[in-house]
């Protein structure tokens, strides 16, 4: 071995010297180049400076090592077949290192930019996976081509697979890209109250890479694909308004009508029955008109006034009873007393008409109300408005009209909640002062919505 080295030392020393020279040049070049690069990038203020320098610094020297090996092998006395094989291996290692560097560098740079966009953790994960897969596939194709493998069948197979994947996941891809668009624009954020189209409305509770989750005022959770969100018209009302400690729970009621078997044929019989009639009878004959004929612009009428005017043909007394504003009374007892007082006073002034027989009998009807909760809650005025658009006429009637009798004061459930929860006395007073007889219940709904929206804008 020593004798061979003495005779062929140049065959060893020259390749080794070349290899060491390239290693030294690599160290020097890396120091000079990266010092210059660091100064230039520091001036530009680019956020990826540290990532670029730290990621490429090690591979840069490694490439000089590979280059030194390549030159050393080329100048060595190895057989040509062996040289060719080793050089191919070195070139393959170089290609792999380039691809791997691009994978690591792209992932780190992408992470920097994705961190500036909210709610894209899941989409970023899939983008990084796709990017990594693409670079690895490209590197693999380059290696196969370098080693002389046939690529046409492989490329055709990969194209077919990719086409199948794209077709099968077109909806998911659409949602992913739409999610990027929504997140990048920041038009919608978690906690915002949004209205989608003309139907769905609520607070955004979660934003994912494929869909967003919205909590509606009826306490349901709806999941909306991002692609649909992009296509629909979205009204974003922004962050929540002041929250009520006690959400408003909307109720509704069903009225069951029942004939009592009581009837009157004249005023004296009407008075006698009315004096002992329970509140359920008084309520029906003084309030049902507004509810049952809500699509009309109602007049302040009641069944007693209508019967006296039509059946007894007494327009004077009928008008006196019709002029009693039932909405002004906070108890059915006081309303009944006013009705009796007006009739008795008229009979005292006109005693001849008290026993006048009517063309048809007045049949007394009582009402039984069945109260039931709805699924709708409102924690702030924005939710309250959206629920107000959806609830039925029965719910409005319960909270606006029946509440005065239940609370026994000149107010309603809506005004009481708005005043107590938010201190909005002016808004509550405006709702209290609305005159229900100048519009339909639907018109009353619209006016209340307009008053609240004007306040929360």
DSSP notation for 213-257: EEE-TTS-EEEEEHHHHHHS-EEE--S--PPPSSPEEEEEEEEEE
**Which positions of the chain have pLDDT values less than 70?**
1-12, 45-47, 113-127, 151-187, 191, 197-199, 207-210, 218, 226-234, 236-240, 289-300, 436-438
Neighbours of 419 (CB within 10 A): 18
Q: Which tens digit of pLDDT belongs to each residue from 301-330?
A: 788 998 988 888 888 998 898 888 877 787
Between CA 283 and CA 367 the distance in angstroms is 7
Helix (H) or strand (E) holding 87: helix 80-114
Amino acid 78: pLDDT: 77
Instruction: Please tell me the distance from the alpha carbon of residue 432 to that of residue 412, in angstroms, as a whole number.
Output: 7
For 453, the token pair is 């929206």
Q: Residue 114: what pLDDT?
A: 62
Q: Distance of CA 113 to CAs 128, 329, 333, Å?
A: 12, 66, 72
362 vs 386: CA distance, rounded Å: 43
The torsion region of residue 196 among left (phi > 0), alpha (psi -120 to 50) and beta comes to: beta
How confident is the model at residue 8, as a pLDDT?
54
Kindly write down the DSSP assignment for every residue of 21-73, as one continuous string: HHHHHHHHHHHHHHHHHHHHHHHHT-TTHHHHHHHHHHHHHHHHHHHHHHHHH
DSSP state of 302: -
Let me know: does 105 contact 51? Beta carbons within 8 Å.
Answer: yes
| Tokens, residue 295 | 């699509």
Q: What is the pLDDT of residue 393?
A: 86
Closest CA to 293 of 281, 306, 309, 280: 306
The whole-number pLDDT of residue 340 equals 92
pLDDT of residue 50: 79
What the block records as the tokens of 12 is 């060893």
> Is the Cα dihedral 420, 423, 425, 428 positive or negative?
negative
Residues present in the chain in total: 457
pLDDT of residue 414: 93
Instruction: List the structure tokens of 27.
Output: 């160290």
Topology (CATH) of 187-236: SH3 type barrels. (2.30.30)
The contacts of residue 17 (CB under 8 Å, 6+ apart) are none
The predicted pLDDT at position 171 comes to 57
Backbone angles phi, psi at 423, to 5 degrees: 70, 20
The pTM score is 0.56
204 near 213, Cβ under 8 Å? Answer: yes
CA-closest candidate to residue 439, choices 429, 449, 426, 425? 449
Print the SS3 string covering 156-172. Answer: HHHHHHHHHHHHHCHHH
pLDDT (tens digit, 9 = 90+) per residue, 185-227? 566 777 677 777 666 777 777 766 667 778 777 677 777 776 6
């Amino acid at each position: 071995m020593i004798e061979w080295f003495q005779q062929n030392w140049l065959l060893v020393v020259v390749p080794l010297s070349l290899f060491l020279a390239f290693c030294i040049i690599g160290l020097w070049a890396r120091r000079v180049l990266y010092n210059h690069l660091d100064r230039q990038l520091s001036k530009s203020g680019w956020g990826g400076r540290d990532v670029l320098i730290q990621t490429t610094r090690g591979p840069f020297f490694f490439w000089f090592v590979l280059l030194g090996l390549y030159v050393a092998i080329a100048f060595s006395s190895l057989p040509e077949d062996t040289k060719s094989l080793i050089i191919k291996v070195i070139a393959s290692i170089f290609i792999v290192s380039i691809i791997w560097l691009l994978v690591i560098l792209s992932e780190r740079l992408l992470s920097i930019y994705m961190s500036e966009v909210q709610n894209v953790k899941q989409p970023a994960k899939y983008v990084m996976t796709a990017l990594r897969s693409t670079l690895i596939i490209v590197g693999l194709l380059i290696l196969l081509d370098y080693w002389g493998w046939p690529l046409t069948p492989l490329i055709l197979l990969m194209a077919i697979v990719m086409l199948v994947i794209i077709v099968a996941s077109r909806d998911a891809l659409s949602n992913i890209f739409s999610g990027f668009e929504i997140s990048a624009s920041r038009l919608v954020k978690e906690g915002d109250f949004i209205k989608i189209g003309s139907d769905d409305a609520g607070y955004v509770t979660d934003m994912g890479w494929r869909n967003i989750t919205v909590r509606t005022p009826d306490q349901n959770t709806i999941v909306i694909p991002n692609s649909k969100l992009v296509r629909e018209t979205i009204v974003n009302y922004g962050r929540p308004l002041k929250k009520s400690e006690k959400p408003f729970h909307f109720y509704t009621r069903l009225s069951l009508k029942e004939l009592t078997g009581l009837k009157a044929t004249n005023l004296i019989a009407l008075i006698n029955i009315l004096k002992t009639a329970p509140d359920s009878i008084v309520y029906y004959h003084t309030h049902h008109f507004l509810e049952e004929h809500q699509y009309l612009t109602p007049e302040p009428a009641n069944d007693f006034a209508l019967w006296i005017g039509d059946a007894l043909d007494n327009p004077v007394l009928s008008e006196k009873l019709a002029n009693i504003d039932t909405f002004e009374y906070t108890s059915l007892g006081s309303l009944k007393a006013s009705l009796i007082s007006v009739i008795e006073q008229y009979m005292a002034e006109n005693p001849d008409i008290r026993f006048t027989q009517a063309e048809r009998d007045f049949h007394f009807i009582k009402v039984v109300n069945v109260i039931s909760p709805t699924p709708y809650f409102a924690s702030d005025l924005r939710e309250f408005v959206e629920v107000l658009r959806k609830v039925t006429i029965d719910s409005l009637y319960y909270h606006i009209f029946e509440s005065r009798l239940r609370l026994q004061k000149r107010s309603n459930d809506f005004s009481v909640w708005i005043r107590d929860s938010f201190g909005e006395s002016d808004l509550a007073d405006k709702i209290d002062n609305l005159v229900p007889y100048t519009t339909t219940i639907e018109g009353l709904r619209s006016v209340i919505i307009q008053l609240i929206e004007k306040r929360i804008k």
